[in-house]
Structure 1
Amino acid sequence: MKQECYDITGMTCASCSAAVERVTRKMEGVQESNVNLATNKMTITYDESKVSPEDIIGRVEKAGFGAALEQIKEKEQEKEEKLEQEEAQHKIRQRVIGSIIFAVPLLYISMGHMLPFELPLPRILSMEENPFNYALAQLLLTVVVLIFGRKFYIVGFKTLFHGHPNMDSLVAIGTGSAFLYSLVMTIRIPFDAHAVHSLYYESAAVVVTLVMLGKYFESKSKGKTSEAIRKLMELAPDTAVRLKEGKEEEIPVEQVNKGDVLLVRPGSKIPLDGIVVRGVSSVDESMLTGESIPVEKETGAEVIGGSINYNGALEMEVTHTGKDTTLAKIIRLMEEAQGRKAPISKMADVVAGYFVPAVLVIAVLAAVIWAVTGHPISFVLKIFVSVLVIACPCALGLATPTAIMVGTGLGASHGILIKSGEALEITHKAQAVVLDKTGTVTEGKPKVVQVISKTRSREELLWMAGACEVPSEHPLGKAIVEAAREQRGKLPACEEFSSITGQGIHAVLEGKSFWIGNAKLLKEKNFSAKDLEKEAEEIAAKGQTPMFVVIDGVLEGIISVADTVKETSRSAIDKIKKAGIKVYMLTGDNRRTAEYIGSQVHADEVIAEVLPQDKAAVVQKLQQEGKTVLMVGDGINDAPALAQADIGVAIGSGSDIAMESSDVVLMRSDLEDVYRAIKLSKATIRNIKENLFWAFAFNSCGIPVAAGLLYAFGGPLLNPMIAGLAMSFSSVFVVSNALRLKRLKL
């Protein structure tokens, strides 16, 4: 079996993606086909002995869509694609604005006389004195609006003719029928002035304008998956410095081969994966591994492409190039995860696939029945148009987007940015919440949590250590400096300073010799830790880092530095668990640190020492167990897991990559907002179901009445004017119901 990814064009809603899936799954030799509407991509698994890419493309095109085998994109191609997307957004915005500009005067002309205070019109457009001019002005304005919304008609009728009508088909048929009926009435005006009372141009124009506006907001909310992948690609440098025969040469990364020796200067990015063959330095791998503290590297240590070398020059032998690097694997994992279809049901579009044919059949049957019973053509036409106008998809089309717009707006006011309607729909289904530890459960920034001193006061020991660490660039040293400054403010300058990579620092302050560092430093300098050995073990047992302070050769104390748990993490996890959701804490940290923090915050399960690839695998395993997974993270190393999860949530203080890969962004870096997002999702989905129920119930009752059911038993006949008003009422009801969400307390 072979798996390929195709770019699909021409899709506008879930019924389109369902149609592409349906026609491709019916092909002999196709095992599986998943279409992702958000990315416009199809991932298909097939037997290449029975099916070829040409066959697949041909079948998709026959269904009315476009298909092309996805190509590996370079950075420049990604930039061009982004510009094309921005240009498309700009064009949609222009069409919406243009439509509104012409719809407003149309409403003024057609509806102004219905208000208690009749709006003035020039005599040339007076309905009583110049009915034809009155109708002609509306016709011209409506034609312009329909031109702006022509895509609804092109796509709607195209999909209808291919046998899978979508929301565009509903818009096209409903507004098209109203327009054609009004056009017929306009032609009749010179012969029958009363025909001027049967114009419904404004219904066609306003519905097109509103739906177009909804489409614009929908397109604006789609996740920018390509940007996330592009930023990941930009992590790796374009060039590398290769050492060959004792000489340095700068070459493109693509020309580097496995086994080449590269020079990585301080402050430079490591080009590819490899092993250090010479040099000692600290490397920031936080954007790839999630570790907040730089990792010490020496001969024999592995380094990852895309990470940043800090303070020492390194010579490394390349072990992986191209698609085999860790960064490339992360990118590939993201693409594969995003290629899988999210388990979301677009109720309105699914029902619309049956609703449109049913309405057409009812309209035709009603017209035929009344025609064969001897009623005039004008009567039959009224019946036909009334059925289609009252079945206009405005309420159906607004049921979901209005609730989503209100829900996402409410979330934004609470610092919860939900990037798509799909994300809002699925968040409430979460059965497992996976939390990345660093920067999510914890602050992501080392802090001094304890000071132990043998002979001096704790304040004095911290003050002296802080003064010695001022020149240090190491995060642990900076944490000590920050704590000392918070305590005493300005710190004195030390007379001498030197950094010992991987161990600590040496400084001279007020004539005293200070050694501050880890256990490696004590061992290297033959300092005894016997007096504070028990305390050091207790600190390590908590997952904290003991920084030993030696003054003039004597161990004087320990400063414990750790990445502290956020104040709200424990209460937030308790609330999530109370909602019946299991909480997993995931981290690349050592098990001792992870389990200690996990116990502090009451996580149900702790999974430690995992690589970026493993994080996505953990999420996938939970999904295979049948769970709907919500993943919360903040770093690039979380991006594949965020993409793999049914819903990805990025902490606001995290990396741009994590935010782009996620479906929800928490601006306040507060896990309480994860619980609030779930609560908001539940309320919004309930509101959407209410809207859909009323929209369909209204149509179910209105269509028989429009077809003449009451008239057949001596009741009134529903003309298109009343049908249009009824349709408008159903829309107002749906919008009003959606606005109730604003009163929800998060």
Structure 2
Amino acid sequence: MTQQTLTRTVPGMNCQGCVKRMREAIQALDANAEVIGTPDEKRLDVSVDPDSTALDDDALDQALTDAGFPPGEPENESKSQPESDDASRTSGDSVDATPTAAPAADATADATTTRLAVSGMTCAGCVNSVQKALQGTAGVTSAMVNFGTHTAEVTGNASEDALVSAVQGVGYDAKPIVDVREAEETRAAQEARDYKKRLQGSVAALVLAVPLMASMFFFHPEPVGAGRLYWLVIGALTLAVMAFPGRHFFTGAWKNARRHQANMDTLIAMGTGTAWLYSMAVVFFGPWLPEAARGIYFEASAMVIGLILLGNAMELKARGRTSDALKRLLDLQARTARVIRDGEEQEIDIDAVREDDRVRVRPGERLAVDGEVTEGESYIDESMLTGEPDPINKTLGDDVSAGTVNGKGGLVYRATRVGNDTRLGQITRQVASAQGSRPPIGDLADKVSSVFVPSVMIIAVITALAWFNFGVEARVIHMLVAATSVLIIACPCALGLATPISTMIGVGKAAEHGVLVRNGEALQTASKLTALVVDKTGTLTEGNPRVTEAEVLADNEQHVLGLVAALERGSEHPLATALTAYCEEEKGAKAAAIRDFDSVTGGGVKAQSDAGELLLGNAALLEDAGIDLAAGSDSAQALEDKARTIVYLAIGGELAALFGVSDPVRIDAKSAIARLQKDGLHLIMLTGDNRHTARAVGDAVGIDDFRAGLKPEDKHAEIERLQKEGHTVGMVGDGINDAPALARANVGFAIGQGTDVAIESAGMTLMRGSLHGVATAIELSQATLTNIKQNLAGAFGYNALCIPIAAGVFYPLTGALLSPMIAGAAMSLSSITVVSNANRLRLFAPRGTADGSTDTQAHTQPKEEAA
């Protein structure tokens, strides 16, 4: 059936991740709609059934707007540039026969995302208040607030001032995060101050409360005469505890009350404040109260504040370990650089380094910024970025990365990327952002926390009324104790920590194992994968191919090879590198003059020369142009039998040459595939290469389900087919050529070295070149989700169990009510338990590989990709 195509210009589309979000919004209206986005052109094409009533022009515009990508005119049409060979060919494995690459991510990809450091939050209720305030700000399309990191990530076009004002408007404070290192140092320093302050406050409160509580067993005078003076002194000391160590509970409760909100501070302030006020009333009016109603609870107020502050301090101490992975990444960043300016060498702050500065690095020093070597030769230890244990030789023209360590030689290099734009900066920013994200499973806690505190207050009132009207004597005392215990024990601290703490540690552990997690959603979905689609070139194979056979059918071999060199010399794809190296280095051919160069997606390249039209690529490219391949059929068959990738060259409408290219299978691919299969995944290999090569690679690594001769759209369709069959699909590719397929998969794993496009298109980016990283990512995802479920079950279970106990449901059996002091200790213990359980993830270790090695070291060096 003929499909109708609706085309939109979407200025906010910057990457395949944007396309994925728009696709999900559109297919929520019409599941059969096909959505193809071209971020470079800001163009979105939506193919629908002409008779569809679910998706018309208005519905499409509304869906895009609701998803945060309103259609409109491009902001800078004049910036469009002609596509290069690398920029235009995005065919993925179909370029096994044709070199490809893709454009770097748009520089404005992060322009609409703002990260804030939020201070003053004490529980899940605070998170809910801040999140609602940010989401209600004009121009905000989405907002995510993380209690574990005390950060917020906001998407939209609202200004930083507007976002900060929105947070301040609900009683909290916020500051834009410009530099991750500075923000982390500030957060660590603030937590250290808070820890010290709360520990000191706890000690001060308990110094009063413990002796007082102990004395209750020996000395408890009636509040008359000298006894009244005694209790007035104790009341004053308790008030001092509430006014100084516990001050922030009451100021926080007052701020929230003025805004008609409630949080943990509200519950604690109401509970301890009620106990103190009632005790003072007994001191002043005791003689006129019934004897059973003369209970005094100063020690309860002081003890509750002391125990909660002690719990807060212990929680902060435990939370401080959750960001160790991020701290280690930040420690890789040098603070100064030795720059050569105007012939003089000077050491300057890292923030003062600019692009094109010449930087000198001495033996044993850490490189400050990314760059290109201009002088010297040395070996560089890149293991912290790639996992490759052996130092890499670097000489004139080679790229070097910030955070790596120089060997014994001296180097001078030109700075190409500085600050947050370095690879290390991108990785650090990615980890920090992912640690602040939230898996969908956390939505349950958010929904509960939004109504939790008001609900607890209502339960406390009902409890008080029930005891006052139906309880046994002394009713007033029982009412006070039960209501206070309910208020204190139900504080939702554990609920707010259940998801973010585990996410922080899970993302951090993933980074330690060379896996960059883009967000919490990817972390959660990876645990549910049932099928894994694997690209061939650069994923199962090393991505460092070489020409092993060549047959030139034309007379002038040097001229033919010169044309091939000219066609491929501008590309950084491994096949192009192999062909160029063969023609120029092995055969000594010089690049010929060509013109009108063009790239054919999924096929190869074409150009014009004095000898006629040039076509270089796979068989389909030449056959579509009407080229007869019969002259090379025997040679092609022989190459296919050897599992070679074949690249054809046609000149002036005639087949002129064919090349056999071999790309060795990764040494650890077979063990990685076996490990993934053991984890219960169905493996499918997709490739644009010929069937013989595909089968040979499949047999070598242990994959018997494969699809060969695919174009980029075929890979996309194959993933859709698997999803319609009910599979949750992961896709492993190089992160550039397979960007659309990576974005379409439920979770995309970009295997490579973390280029911009990989990070934007994939849910996870593997910094090391081993497929074992995929297995590790999936296993860690499963461990993290299990940990989150344990935390949520513990937090929900704690409140479900403790609130009725605090309300007194067991009083008929025990004849006693839960003391507010025990309630305070239990509340603190619940938070400590959640944080401690989350910290068990720090002990996570991969299940190991099939051959007994670990995935912490890649067996092969990942291929270099065009940025």
TM-score (norm 1): 0.56
Post-superposition shift, 1:391? 2.1
Post-superposition shift, 1:626? 4.7
Secondary structure at the aligned position of 1:291 is classed as coil
1:88 maps to 2:194? yes
Contact 1:167–1:349 at 8 Å: present in 2 too?
no
Secondary structure at the aligned position of 1:283 is classed as strand
Output the CA distance in 2 between the equivalents of 1:326 and 1:650.
11
Which residue of the other structure, out of 244, 249, 267, is the alignment partner of 2:345?
249
1:391 maps to 2:486? yes
Pairing of 1:432-447 with structure 2 (within 5 A): none
Which residue of the other structure, out of 139, 142, 148, is the alignment partner of 2:235?
139
Which residue of the other structure, out of 80, 96, 107, is the alignment partner of 2:213?
107
1:98 maps to 2:204? yes
Secondary structure at the aligned position of 2:126 is classed as helix
Post-superposition shift, 1:596? 11
Task: Give the match for residue 63 of structure 1.
Answer: 170
Contact 2:198–2:245 at 8 Å: present in 1 too?
no
Contact 1:277–1:299 at 8 Å: present in 2 too?
yes
- 1:456-491 per-residue CA deviation (whole Å, 9 max, x = no partner) reads xxxxxxxxxxxxxxxxxxxxxxxxxxxxxxxxxxxx
Task: Give the match for residue 401 of structure 2.
Answer: 304
Output the CA distance in 2 between the equivalents of 1:351 and 1:333.
29
- 1:317-366 per-residue CA deviation (whole Å, 9 max, x = no partner) reads 44334444333333443444445445453867754553443454566678
Contact 2:753–2:766 at 8 Å: present in 1 too?
no
Instruction: Name the CA shift for 1:596/1:7 in 2 (closer, same or farther; >3 Å).
Output: same
Output the CA distance in 1 between the equivalents of 2:742 and 2:147.
24
Post-superposition shift, 1:223? 5.6
Instruction: Name the CA shift for 1:205/1:641 in 2 (closer, same or farther; >3 Å).
Output: farther
Contact 1:390–1:724 at 8 Å: present in 2 too?
yes
Paired AA for residue 167 in structure 2: V
1:238 maps to 2:336? yes
Task: Give the match for residue 319 of structure 2.
Answer: 221
Secondary structure at the aligned position of 1:6 is classed as strand
Task: Give the match for residue 153 of structure 2.
Answer: 43
Secondary structure at the aligned position of 1:292 is classed as coil
Instruction: Name the CA shift for 1:138/1:569 in 2 (closer, same or farther; >3 Å).
Output: farther
Which residue of the other structure, out of 344, 366, 373, is the alignment partner of 1:276?
373
Task: Give the match for residue 158 of structure 1.
Answer: 255
Paired AA for residue 100 in structure 1: L
- 1:670-708 per-residue CA deviation (whole Å, 9 max, x = no partner) reads x999969956963784575266346336645875979xx
Contact 1:177–1:388 at 8 Å: present in 2 too?
no
Pairing of 1:79-478 with structure 2 (within 5 A): 82-110=188-216, 113=217, 121=218, 132=228, 135-136=231-232, 139=235, 142-146=238-242, 147-192=244-289, 194=291, 197-219=294-316, 220-222=318-320, 225=323, 228=326, 232=330, 235-236=333-334, 238-242=336-340, 249-252=345-348, 258-343=355-440, 345=442, 351=448, 353-358=450-455, 360-361=457-458, 385=480, 388-394=483-489, 430-431=527-528
Task: Give the match for residue 129 of structure 2.
Answer: 19
Paired AA for residue 221 in structure 1: R
Paired AA for residue 235 in structure 2: L
Post-superposition shift, 1:227? 8.4
Instruction: Name the CA shift for 1:563/1:98 in 2 (closer, same or farther; >3 Å).
Output: farther
Output the CA distance in 2 between the equivalents of 1:103 and 1:602.
71
Output the CA distance in 1 between the equivalents of 2:275 and 2:817.
12
Post-superposition shift, 1:22? 0.7
Gaps of 5+ in 1: 114-120, 412-416, 435-522, 524-540, 542-561, 583-590, 652-668, 711-715
Output the CA distance in 2 between the equivalents of 1:427 and 1:46.
24
Contact 1:200–1:724 at 8 Å: present in 2 too?
no
Output the CA distance in 1 between the equivalents of 2:787 and 2:421.
45
Contact 1:30–1:47 at 8 Å: present in 2 too?
yes
Output the CA distance in 2 between the equivalents of 1:178 and 1:648.
54
Contact 1:389–1:723 at 8 Å: present in 2 too?
no
Post-superposition shift, 1:64? 1.0
Contact 1:32–1:46 at 8 Å: present in 2 too?
yes
Contact 2:304–2:824 at 8 Å: present in 1 too?
no
Post-superposition shift, 1:293? 1.7
Which residue of the other structure, out of 681, 686, 692, is the alignment partner of 2:796?
692
- 1:239-281 per-residue CA deviation (whole Å, 9 max, x = no partner) reads 235386xx56335366655445555444444443333345443
Post-superposition shift, 1:19? 0.9
Paired AA for residue 69 in structure 1: P
Instruction: Name the CA shift for 1:340/1:10 in 2 (closer, same or farther; >3 Å).
Output: same
Contact 1:102–1:144 at 8 Å: present in 2 too?
no
Task: Give the match for residue 450 of structure 1.
Answer: none
Contact 1:38–1:223 at 8 Å: present in 2 too?
no
Instruction: Name the CA shift for 1:349/1:136 in 2 (closer, same or farther; >3 Å).
Output: farther
Instruction: Name the CA shift for 1:53/1:83 in 2 (closer, same or farther; >3 Å).
Output: closer
Task: Give the match for residue 29 of structure 1.
Answer: 139
Instruction: Name the CA shift for 1:573/1:160 in 2 (closer, same or farther; >3 Å).
Output: farther
Output the CA distance in 1 between the equivalents of 2:355 and 2:777.
46
Contact 2:123–2:493 at 8 Å: present in 1 too?
no
Contact 2:201–2:246 at 8 Å: present in 1 too?
yes
Post-superposition shift, 1:43? 2.5
Identity of aligned residues (%): 24
Contact 1:276–1:301 at 8 Å: present in 2 too?
yes
Q: Relative to total residues, which structure has the larger helix share, 1 or 2?
A: 1
Post-superposition shift, 1:649? 13
Higher relative contact order (CA 8 A, sep 6+): 2
Pairing of 1:582-661 with structure 2 (within 5 A): 599=701, 607=732, 625-626=745-746
Output the CA distance in 2 between the equivalents of 1:571 and 1:84.
47
Output the CA distance in 1 between the equivalents of 2:761 and 2:799.
34
Output the CA distance in 2 between the equivalents of 1:346 and 1:680.
16
Output the CA distance in 2 between the equivalents of 1:638 and 1:304.
12
Instruction: Name the CA shift for 1:233/1:144 in 2 (closer, same or farther; >3 Å).
Output: same
TM-score (norm 2): 0.49
Output the CA distance in 1 between the equivalents of 2:225 and 2:759.
66
Output the CA distance in 1 between the equivalents of 2:214 and 2:411.
74
Paired AA for residue 394 in structure 1: I
Output the CA distance in 1 between the equivalents of 2:319 and 2:527.
21
Contact 1:402–1:738 at 8 Å: present in 2 too?
no
Contact 1:278–1:314 at 8 Å: present in 2 too?
yes
Post-superposition shift, 1:26? 2.0
Output the CA distance in 1 between the equivalents of 2:328 and 2:232.
52
Contact 2:253–2:263 at 8 Å: present in 1 too?
yes
Post-superposition shift, 1:228? 3.0
Output the CA distance in 2 between the equivalents of 1:704 and 1:101.
29
Contact 2:286–2:294 at 8 Å: present in 1 too?
no
Contact 2:370–2:402 at 8 Å: present in 1 too?
yes
